[in-house]
Structure 1
Amino acid sequence: MTDIAQAARAEVASARRVFFCVAIVAPTLIVLAGTAVIIAWLPQLPDPIATHWGSGPRPNGFSSPMAAVWLTLGMGLGMTALFGGIVWLEARQRPDTWGWSQRLMGAMGPAMAVFLTVLFVGMVGMQRGLADAADAGNVDPMLWAGLGSALVVGVIAWFVQPKAEFARPTATGAPIELAPGERAVWIAETRMGTGALVSLGVLVLAFVAIGAVMLASGTEVWWLMLLVSLVIVFGIVTCTVYRVRIDSRGLLVRSLVGWPAFHYTPASITAVAVVDVAPMAEYGGWGLRFIPGSTGVLMRGGEGIQVTLTSGRTFVVTVDDPATGAGLLQAVVHGNAAATDTEPEREGESS
């Protein structure tokens, strides 16, 4: 291992230690402290207490005082576990990577813990000494106090964490050598994993079920759940399977249904490389991703083809056997191959 690689690993390890303190330890202590305050106030609270406010200034939902304890603990620690779990899963898959998305999770964790704790503690505190929780006032000041506190804590947590940007492993390789007059085309397919598709399907069913319950109970905004379900289904249909084609026209990456599609001609490409992509660290997730300076079609992590465009942006698609596709694309870009749309004499397929 080179000195540069060792330094990068040490930087990532340091970033993870800071993340653990900022995104796990600090939010847990905040939530526990808020819960302790609520428990200390229990003898001073009416029974039941107000736990829900509608559009008006007065509460319209009531629960046992212990509900505030469990809400604070459950939601506060649950959100902390959610953000920490996302980063932990990525770290298990790619232990040598770190990026802005993990840093964002590290800022959102304590921010959410502060928001929930301030809101619940404030909500309970305003009911101390009341004989009837229906007399509790408007909860909006507590909501705004929670949002303001969360914003401040989130910004601090972001800047406390180091950047620890890692260099993506890149290999340029050599263009494929073709005989004079030889034609070539490379075709591949990249698709989202079965587990991710099942998860999306379950999510759709969950929103449909929630919408059905809301409709049955007379809730007017039930259609929002149906709308969300349709949006997810649209995303599944259009953005989970892509065909990749490289020939004389350059690089074409197109959804199985024809849209969205990305086509880059040889004249628009300045460099081609095989890269090792960490979707969560670099792009904030999987699927069709847009970040400043780059677009990614990332159905999975691992190796893919990256092209650098004349505009300075990069385009990345993760696919099997990227070295072969990148080699042909380099040959096309450098003018070393003549590819056509007719039946190829050499064809490489990957799925």
Structure 2
Amino acid sequence: MKVLIFVITAVFMSVSNAVAEPSKHVLMVLSSHGQQQGEERPGYEFDEFAKAYLVFKQHGITVDIASPKGGVLVADEYDPKKPFNAQVIADDHAMAKLNSSLPLHTLSAAHYDGVFVVGGKGAMFDFPNNKALQTLITDIYQQQGSVAAVCHGPAALVNVRLNDGSYLIANKAINGFTNEEERMFGKKWMKEFDFLLEDKLIERGGKFQSSGFMLAHVAVDGRLITGQNPSSTVGVALELVKSLGVEVQPVEQYTDDKTMGLVAKLLNGEYKAIQPLITHAEAYNIKLVGMYGYYYMMKSDTAQDYRNALMLMNVAKEAINSPNLEMQIAKAHQALGDSQSAALVLHEILADQPAFKAASDMLVTLTQ
């Protein structure tokens, strides 16, 4: 009899807990602006959507997908073979929601505990002045819900006001795609923007913070959570989960995110972090390290910058096997006053490609 009472009590408590703790409900907002995979008009970033969606799914959070116009949405070009993208593409439930997104003007904030605004340059066109989106964000925040956005997603926040007339982001830690990142990677559409995101967030009173270009950075100010770029997506999603009172579980570390994490450590002077790139290269995107070094070299102006760029490029030299990367390596040596090493790299280029004029021209300048 005691056993029976125990079983009945356990079942009752289980049911009671299930009723007392319903699944949290998050609204994911994506741009409707895209056309022809971002070639004609930019849309949303599928990588960001997929990574965040999988975090919410793993934590048992119910997700709705919405957009300014509703219906089918067009992402910018992406790699469907990346593991996180492949997982979502294979998820019929997720894809059905994605291909029939809810129009923002039909939604009520009362149904949601939080909102997550996905990035992509399309966000700069159809988010800032969307009144329905502004109302949803305001209402969700003022009903003690959480607001999160990543990359260009914070464009949705620039005109959001609270009931007292103040801007939501005023005097709060905030970030998003930086001016530096825009000038390096957003030139195609930047001239069509009404503003640069970093500038507008600061203009609205946000306390803007950031890390190096394309390195993960998550700003948390109470129930406002923002991420700088695609590398920040998982971090923003996890902070939103935490803000909703859901216990955070370990999540998969994706190769590109793990790689950029090591790059951040190296640039912070944690040089032992280079060891895994050598001993466990298969676990990282070595080419991404080299490309980061390539772009880092372009913005370098101190000896330490040049050394860091050189370190990153050399790690990936063989994997990339590109004369353009090797030219940057030669320029880094030259900037550090090591003409002998620069000449050696140039001779290596010319040994493989004798007609590579940039290398021969630079070699001439070194010998003058």
Normalised by the length of structure 1, the TM-score is: 0.25
User: When the two structures are superposed, what TM-score results if normalisation uses the length of structure 2?
Assistant: 0.24
Greater strand fraction, Structure 1 or Structure 2: 1
**Larger RCO: Structure 1 or Structure 2 (Cα < 8 Å, ≥ 6 residues apart)?**
1
Larger radius of gyration: 1
